[in-house]
Amino acid sequence: MKAYGKIDWAFAAGRIPFLTHGREPEMTSHDKIAVLNLSGEEAVLEICIFYEDEAPKVYEVKLRPRRLKKIRFNDLIDPEAIRMERNFSCFVKSNVPVVIQYSRMNTGSGTNAEMTTMGYPVDE
Amino acid sequence: MKAYGKIDWAFAAGRIPFLTHGREPEMTSHDKIAVLNLSGEEAVLEICIFYEDEAPKVYEVKLRPRRLKKIRFNDLIDPEAIRMERNFSCFVKSNVPVVIQYSRMNTGSGTNAEMTTMGYPVDE
Amino acid sequence: MKAYGKIDWAFAAGRIPFLTHGREPEMTSHDKIAVLNLSGEEAVLEICIFYEDEAPKVYEVKLRPRRLKKIRFNDLIDPEAIRMERNFSCFVKSNVPVVIQYSRMNTGSGTNAEMTTMGYPVDE
Amino acid sequence: MKAYGKIDWAFAAGRIPFLTHGREPEMTSHDKIAVLNLSGEEAVLEICIFYEDEAPKVYEVKLRPRRLKKIRFNDLIDPEAIRMERNFSCFVKSNVPVVIQYSRMNTGSGTNAEMTTMGYPVDE
């Protein structure tokens, strides 16, 4: 299969909700990206987190060929964890083309709210 | 009418909610794609479902000319059903240009949450 | 100002919710598009509604220069109203470039769910 | 780093919710854009707000290099505040490439609804 997708993706409206209610793990508040690697090679992602008032931090995540990976932002802990309720943006650079979708579940007020958008392929 | 749209689409953040509440069918939890065939020919879709830890599976769906079809992922059962609460991504290849929008309704916490995004046209 | 935008837009996942709760008009369930006309000319929109099992229907809507218009689908009544809880897709053709965003509010289970996506610019 | 992104962005479906419930600031109803400046220069944004029945108004917002800014529309007060529950669209012109994502939180019916979409890059 042709390696469909793009190598550079961005989205801007990240924020990990602090408040959470309901059955775990289905209803746990979170902020995440889902990455689909349609290529035949391992994808090595450089995830760069931007802040309003501090220099960006870089995280590395790997992804098998012809597989997907959902990455919850609270699982990114090296070099440092992203604090909850802090605004951040995300820029992802991959060695092979991938497709990235952003989504959030927020159960902070007792029921679940969900939102999603395809990322923006900045190398277009 | 010109055959508007693209032939290859992808989205990454699929997951069929397990929990559901409320009046059927309006409030039943589901994950789906809506496919619009603006062309004058039948569309034959090859829907390829990707997983985190298993080889992709292919499903075939047909769609009349100048019509739409909403495809709930729990209706894809041949070669095998997609298990609920399992992460998946979706790549669709069509023989004619189509337009694909992804959406989810999740009534798992008692009220309805909804989210949607246009798919990503990977053949751009 | 340059006439930014595209002339042909589509989205696929339309459906007017039947159930509704709460204060009107803020909380009334609806399905809509918001159209922004950045050009200096009147925009004449040909809105084509597609169904799963019936031929498409065409509606005409006009839009002043440098203004927006939100169009609730239940306001499209000539040549015929769109029935509630019926799946539809939408293709819009404009005489001047516009920008179109789709959104839904569904208060059917007692609280409000909302979802939105930019339309897909089919003439790209 | 290359200056990824686009200089002109639009979205159409703005509306600041009037009703709000729950803990502040996490659950306060709002309408906003998140802007990511991946470039090495300060971004100067000209935010143009369009209405259904009135001439557009222009606001200026600045953004540091390699930082993000979340802009709640109720914080735009010069030359005039945007009234709540009034439909508006937004066109942003930047001096350097940026990435813009739109989102809303609406807690008007007692629990939170959220929706988001990438803006539309009108200079493509």
Model pLDDT for residues B74-116, shown as the tens digit of each residue: 999 999 999 999 999 999 999 999 999 999 999 999 999 999 9
Please tell me the distance in Å from B115's CA to the nearest CA on chain A. Answer: 5
B123 located within any domain: no
**CA-to-CA distance for A115 and A53, rounded, in angstroms?**
26
Residue D6: which of D91, D71, D100 has the closest Cα?
D100
In angstroms, the separation between the Cα of residue D32 and the nearest Cα of chain C is 14
Of C33, C67, C111, the CB nearest to D51: C67
Radius of gyration for chain B, computed over Cα atoms and rounded to the nearest angstrom: 15
User: Is B117's CB within 8 Å of C117's CB?
Assistant: yes
All residues at 6 or more sequence positions from C77 whose CB lies less than 8 Å from its CB, including other chains: none
How far is Cα D18 from Cα C28, in angstroms, rounded to an integer? 14
| C-beta neighbour count of B105 within 10 angstroms | 26
Q: What is the domain range of residue C23?
A: 6-118
| Contact at CB, D111 and B115, closer than 8 angstroms | no
Whether the CB-CB separation of D108 and D19 falls below 8 Å is answered with yes
Question: Considering chain C, what percentage of its residues have pLDDT values greater than 70?
Answer: 98
State the Cα–Cα distance between residues C74 and C69, nearest whole angstrom: 15
Tell me if D1 is assigned to some domain: no
Asked if residue C93 lies in contact with residue C48, where contact means CB atoms within 8 angstroms, the answer is yes
Positive or negative CA dihedral for B119, B87, A66, B60? Answer: negative
C-alpha–C-alpha distance, residues C41 and C18, integer Å = 36
SS3 state of residue A74: helix
The candidate with the shortest Cα–Cα distance to B14, out of B69, B108, B83, is B83
Residue by residue, DSSP assigns D72-93 as EGGG--SS-PPPTT--EEEEEE
CATH number at residue A77: 2.60.290.11
**pLDDT (0 to 100) of residue A3:** 72
Average of per-residue pLDDT values in chain D:
95
Which of C55, C112, B124 minimizes the C-alpha distance to A111? C112
Token readout for A51 is: 């802040």
DSSP symbols for B8-65: EEEEEEE---S---SSTTTT--EEEEEEEE-SSS-EEEEEEEEESSS--EEEEEEE-T
Task: Return the half-sphere exposure (C-beta side, CA atoms, 13 A cut-off) of residue C61.
Answer: 23
How far apart CA D29 and CA D18 sit, in angstroms, is 8
Read off the pLDDT of residues A3-22 as tens digits, 9 standing for 90 and up: 799 999 999 999 999 999 99
Q: Is the pLDDT of residue C112 over 80?
A: yes
Q: Which of A95, A44, A50 is nearest to A69 (CA)?
A: A44
Q: Is the dihedral of CA C49, C50, C51, C57 positive or negative?
A: positive
8 Å CB contact between A104 and A88: no
Q: Which residues of C88-123 are buried (b: 16+ CB within 10 A; e: fewer)?
A: bbbbbbbebbbbbbbbbbbbbbbbbbbbbbbbbbbe
Q: From chain D, which residues contact B within 8 Å (Cβ)?
A: 111, 113, 115, 117
Residue with token string 């979340």: D70
Mean pLDDT of B20-30: 93
pLDDT of residue B15: 97
Predicted local distance difference test score (pLDDT) of residue D25:
87
In a domain, B29, yes or no: yes
Region A64-93 average pLDDT: 97
C7-62 pLDDT per residue, tens: 999 999 999 999 999 999 889 999 999 999 999 999 999 999 999 999 999 999 99
Mutate to test the interface with C, among A21, A102, A111, A120 (most CBs of C within 10 A): A111
CA distance C3 to C121: 15
- Which residues, other chains included, contact B24 with Cβ-Cβ below 8 Å and sequence gap of 6+? none
Report pLDDT for A35: 98
Of the partner residues C26, C27, C69, the one whose CB lies closest to the CB of residue D52: C69
Q: Which of B6, B11, B63, B111 to mutate to test the interface with C (most CBs of C within 10 A)?
A: B111
The SS3 of residue C2 is: coil
- For residue A1, pLDDT over 80 is answered with no
Q: pLDDT at position C3, please?
A: 72
Global ipTM:
0.95
The answer to the question of residue D124 being in a domain is no
Instruction: Find, among C32, C15, C33, C34, the residue nearest to C108 by Cα.
Output: C15
In a domain, residue A1? The reply is no
Per-residue pLDDT of chain D (124 residues; tens, 9 = 90+): 567 999 999 999 999 999 999 999 889 999 999 999 999 999 999 999 999 999 999 999 999 999 999 999 999 999 999 999 999 999 999 999 999 999 999 999 999 999 999 999 997 5
Determine the Cα–Cα distance for residues B81 and B69; give it in Å rounded to an integer.
Answer: 19
| Beta-bridge partner residues of B70 | B34
Residues in B touching D119 (Cβ below 8 Å)? none
- The pLDDT assigned to D124 comes to 53
User: What's the pTM?
Assistant: 0.97
Peptide bond into A79 cis (omega under 30): yes
Instruction: Look at A110 and B109 and tell me if their CB atoms are within 8 Å.
Output: yes
Binned at pLDDT 50, 70 and 90, residue C1 comes out as: low
Contacts of D104 in chain B (CB under 8 A): none
pLDDT > 70? residue C89: yes
Question: Is B124 a domain residue?
Answer: no
pLDDT-based confidence at B25, cuts 50/70/90?
confident
Number of domains in chain C: 1
Residues of chain A whose beta carbon is less than 8 angstroms from a beta carbon of chain C are 111, 113, 115, 117
List C-alpha distances in Å: D89 to A8, A81, A105, C23: 28, 36, 26, 24
Output the six-digit token pair for C30. 């609806």
Q: Do C117 and B121 touch (CB under 8 A)?
A: no
Residue B72 lies in a domain: yes
Q: What is the pLDDT of residues B44-59, one digit of tens each?
A: 999 999 999 999 999 9
Residue A75 lies in a domain: yes
